[in-house]
């Protein structure tokens, strides 16, 4: 890491590639000779239209989005999608299936319940969401309008290793915390959504990738106009002023991802970073992983020691050594190291080394 930067393990908003920040800073008050900041540009003007179109095209290429699907940039984060998904889609049968594997999938389910009948197709709540249910243990309903799951559970440090088969029921996935971390077959999904603030950019924008056939047909009559997928498709995400600057930063991140080698390279780096830290957990007599081995997330590593006091000591000393925001979510306790795309491999490597040193120094 550069001299004055820390290793930031925040779960989101989270670390961004340093070259992205440097480029944004360099062109802050005069973007490519336009005499304006990107923040100051009319969203209907040529200069911003070029940024927007390029970002969308780059995302389409990086994520290999087929022509059947449309990319939207929306506001309100994943949370507003918790409402938008049922408002737009549940009208087909009035029912939907939800897989509960953590905090956000539970919030999504609770919100959807206000708009229709919800079947809990599977849940890991019995073991505090430390695992991902096996495909054989999923009980889909016969007439769901869609099947919803959250691909990576930021709070608990678990990640789905398979894409559930749904026999023609549209698959809806919250990918907020692992989007662009590996290649995925978008054609298997009816709708993907993701808050930008983990792997894509700053907070303030969310990306929706939607099978165009799903938009409009079953929209609830009270759907706020800005939350209508049909409206947003028809206006190319510009029914009103979009979060222009956030989208511009997403564009810079996409160029950085491509320069590293795209999502294939992201997948390799993801495995490499995670291995450094999980290897410590597997070797350790002090640190234990919170998630079941079969479900370990490549984005958020949750772990703890045998005591809250030792956890606190670890977090404090880690912070002093430049490893920031390692405190676990209150639902799990202990520690959480979020190692998103922008985390340099050295960040994971050095944290692993620090953990080994800490264990050696604090052995009972």
Binding residues (CB under 8 A) for a copy of itself: these are 4-6, 8, 10-16, 18, 21-22, 24-26, 28-30, 33-37, 39-43, 45, 75-80, 82-84, 87, 111, 114-115, 195, 197, 201-205, 220-222, 224-227, 239-246, 249, 322, 324-325
Q: Which is nearer to a copy of itself, 222 or 364 (CB)?
A: 222
Please list the alpha-helical segments (H only) found in the chain.
18-26, 46-62, 77-89, 103-112, 229-234, 244-260, 262-283, 308-320, 345-361
In the complex, least distance from residue 50 CB atom to a copy of itself, rounded to whole angstroms: 15
| Minimum separation from the CB atom of position 25 to a copy of itself (A) | 4
Strand 69-74 relative to strand 206-211, pairing: antiparallel
* Token code pair at residue 187: 């054609």
Q: Give CB contacts under 8 A, 24+ apart, made by 109-117.
A: 109/148, 111/82, 111/83, 111/86, 112/82, 112/85, 112/86, 112/148, 114/86, 115/83, 115/86, 115/87, 115/90, 115/220, 116/86, 116/90, 116/91, 116/145
* 348 and 356 Cβ atoms separated by less than 8 Å: no
Q: How far is the CB of 330 from a copy of itself (least distance, A)?
A: 10
Q: What is the largest CA-CA distance in the chain?
A: 65
Report the nearest approach of a copy of itself to the CB of residue 193 (Å).
13
Closer of 166 and 197 to a copy of itself (Cβ): 197
Q: Round to whole Å and give the CA distance between 173 and 157.
A: 17
Residue placing its CB nearer to a copy of itself in the complex, 69 or 273: 273
Question: Least separation, in Å, of the C-beta of 222 and a copy of itself?
Answer: 6
**Given the complex with a copy of itself, which of 107 and 138 has the nearer CB atom?**
107
Residue 24 CB, nearest approach to a copy of itself (Å): 6
Q: Are the beta carbons of 6 and 324 closer than 8 angstroms?
A: yes
CB nearer a copy of itself, residue 220 or residue 275: 220
Smallest gap from Cβ 327 to a copy of itself, in A, equals 9
Helix%, strand%, coil% for the chain, nearest 5: 40, 15, 40
Task: Kindly tell me which of 8 and 158 has the beta carbon lying closer to a copy of itself.
Answer: 8
Please identify, using beta-carbon distances, which residue of 147 and 245 lies nearer to a copy of itself.
245
Report residue 27 CA to chain centroid gap.
Answer: 27
- Map tokens 């997330």 to a residue: 297
């Amino acid at each position: 890491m550069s001299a004055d930067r820390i290793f930031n393990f925040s779960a989101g908003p989270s670390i961004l590639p340093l070259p992205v920040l440097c480029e944004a800073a360099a062109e802050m008050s005069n973007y490519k000779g336009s005499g304006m900041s990107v923040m100051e540009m009319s969203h209907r003007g040529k200069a911003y239209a070029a940024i927007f179109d390029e970002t969308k095209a780059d995302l389409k290429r990086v994520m290999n989005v087929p022509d059947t699907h449309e990319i939207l940039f929306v506001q309100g984060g994943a949370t507003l999608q918790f409402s938008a998904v049922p408002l737009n889609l549940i009208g087909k049968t009035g029912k939907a299936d939800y897989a509960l594997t953590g905090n956000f999938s539970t919030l999504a389910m609770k919100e959807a319940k206000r708009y229709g009948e919800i079947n809990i197709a599977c849940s890991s709540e019995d073991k505090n969401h430390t695992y991902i249910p096996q495909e054989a243990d999923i009980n889909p309903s016969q007439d769901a309008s869609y099947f919803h799951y959250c691909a990576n559970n930021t709070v608990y440090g678990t990640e789905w290793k398979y894409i559930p088969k749904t026999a023609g029921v549209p698959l809806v996935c919250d990918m907020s915390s692992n989007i662009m971390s590996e290649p995925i077959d978008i054609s298997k999904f009816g709708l993907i959504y993701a808050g930008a603030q983990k792997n894509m950019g700053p907070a303030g924008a969310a990306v929706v990738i939607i099978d165009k056939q799903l938009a409009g047909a079953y929209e609830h009559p009270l759907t706020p106009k800005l939350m209508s997928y049909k409206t947003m498709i028809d206006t190319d995400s510009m029914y009103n002023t979009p979060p222009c600057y956030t989208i511009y930063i997403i564009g810079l991140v996409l160029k950085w991802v491509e320069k590293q080698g795209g999502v294939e390279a992201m997948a390799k780096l993801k495995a490499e970073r995670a291995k450094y830290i999980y290897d410590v957990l597997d070797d350790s007599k002090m640190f234990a992983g919170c998630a079941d081995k079969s479900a370990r997330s490549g984005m958020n590593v949750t772990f703890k020691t045998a005591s809250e006091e030792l956890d606190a000591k670890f977090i404090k000393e880690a912070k002093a050594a430049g490893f920031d925001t390692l405190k676990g979510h209150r639902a799990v306790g202990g520690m959480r190291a979020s190692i998103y795309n922008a985390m340099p491999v050295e960040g994971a490597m050095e944290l692993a080394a620090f953990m080994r040193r800490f264990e050696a120094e604090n052995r009972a």
